[in-house]
Amino acid sequence: MTLNKLWNKLSWFNRPSGRLVYLFALFLGAIYPLGLAPLSWWPLLFLSVFGLAWLLLNVEKQLFWKVTYCYGVGFFAVGASWVHVSIHQFGNAPLWLSISFTAIFVLFLALFKALVGLLLSLSARYLRTPIIAFPLFWLAADYVQGNFLTGFPWLYLGYGLIDSPFSSWLPYIGVSGVSLLSVVIVTTVALIVFRLLRSEQDKTVRISSAYTAFALISLISALTAFSGLSGNNAIRSQSASIAIVQPNIPQAEKWNPDRLPEYLNLYDRMTEPLWGAEFIIWPEAAIPALQHRVENWLKHWESKAIQANSELILGIPRYDFNKQRVYASLASYGAQSYLYDKHHLVPFGEFVPYEGLLRGLIEFFNLPMSRMAPGKAVQSSFSYEKLNFLPAICYEIAYVDRFLNANKSKEKQAVNVILTVSNDAWFGRSWGPHQHYQIARARARELSMPLIRATNNGISAVVDAKGNTLKQLPHYEASSFVNTFEFNEYDSLYLKHNNFIVILLILAAQLFLFLCERILSKNP
């Protein structure tokens, strides 16, 4: 049976039409997050985007935005509905209200995917085959999603490829570049299949399709081989002992002031055998009290750190009496003192948008410590003799600009290390914490820097500059470790040239797709 005859048996997929198109788009969006953590079935990322490209090749341009919106609903309903856990379990919202808020959140985020379809329909006025602009508009929608209002830089395709052969591209073109290149590959394949199935027995189209496919495979193989073989010589290397404390404090009870002494003693007990490690890391908001209210305890730990030649770094909210503002901070105690204030705050968790209207309506809009102020966009790193820590609190790890603009060590001996602390207990046993950790690993690979991650209940780990987990604490357990690690830092082309690399890639990708479309549609 020929390819055409087999495809004709599946007549609807050959020429998708009717309302089933929207349902199929919803399904395609829903399988996309299965390619991300925790399942990490990364080939589904390509299959999902290929299916969307195929639909867009076959439906009328007036339907583009509807198709991509339905895709977005499935995409975020499966990939980001874990916000329900925070709203229902810890915001104490009734189940019906939590589901309603989550649905609104998903329907809003789906608009970013609808933007892809809208831009494609507008480009149809100027392009004979608008699908060639699909990768560009996909990347544009990612950018808007990551920057509109507070931004939600989550579920990017490039993150999901950290455990695939394509992860070697990350230090060269970054997460955005990997996302773009992946969509270019998928779009080219969709174009080839589309032309083949529409050509009937046209030998010219078959030959041109074969040439295009060969060129694509050769390009992918060459890029993957080059990126995998190069960049294996460390530019900086240091050995240091690291200890991480993961207390597993129940989120529902964390901010209960009656239990504060219990938590302070818990940290004291868990840290006692770790003194002597060069760096001891506690999670985000480790101490559920303002800094000045536990000053005696902090002085006690600072004294311990100095005696043991350790540096204790912990998350703690602090009140600035001069500015009369509360900050979510990361502070160090020991021979050197540093302070970092979180810049990217979590909406509703750390500040309430339209506070005058929403504050007090329901308990979710009145969570503890939800009156935070943002820190400066660029702040000092935590610079030590061996390691130079680039701090990030919670989902700041998802904002690559935070690291591109950071004060990185230019000295030969100090290794730049990403230090991220978080409290993913807000999201229970959902997929959220796993996605968050995957983002952190991809960021380490992208910037070619090691990463240390401390959280309340997991995933706490040390990751090398290739994105591999070197040591990890068990999830949802109170635990700690101390170990000596060899920290290697490598050159990252993306770190040096960042967005310039992405712009060049966009131009090259669009030229490649334009030429492919011309070759596939040309008749002698």
H helices within 308-391, ranges in order? 355-358
- 394 assigned to active site: yes
What CA–CA distance (Å, rounded) separates 458 from 313?
17
| Residues 190 and 515: beta-carbon distance below 8 Å | no
Catalytic one of 70, 394, 466, 517: 394
Q: For 278, phi and psi rounded to 5 degrees? A: -65, -40
Dihedral, CA of residue 112, residue 116, residue 117 and residue 122, to nearest 10: 120
Across-strand partners of 383? 388
- 295 assigned to active site: no
DSSP letter at 90 equals I
* Cis amide prior to 38 (ω within 30 degrees): yes
With tokens 């027995």, the residue in question is 201
Instruction: Report which secondary-structure segment, H or E, holds 236.
Output: strand 236-246
- 272 assigned to active site: no
Q: For 198, phi and psi rounded to 5 degrees? A: -95, -5
| Residues 150 and 348: beta-carbon distance below 8 Å | no
Catalytic one of 284, 311, 350, 489: 284
DSSP three-state, residue 154: coil
* The two three-digit tokens of residue 63, written as one number: 């339907």
Q: What angle do CA 141, 145, 146 make, to 5 degrees?
A: 120
The amino acid at residue 176 is S
Catalytic one of 113, 254, 342, 408: 342
What CA–CA distance (Å, rounded) separates 388 from 157?
29
What CA–CA distance (Å, rounded) separates 75 from 64?
16
Enumerate the active-site residues: 284, 342, 394
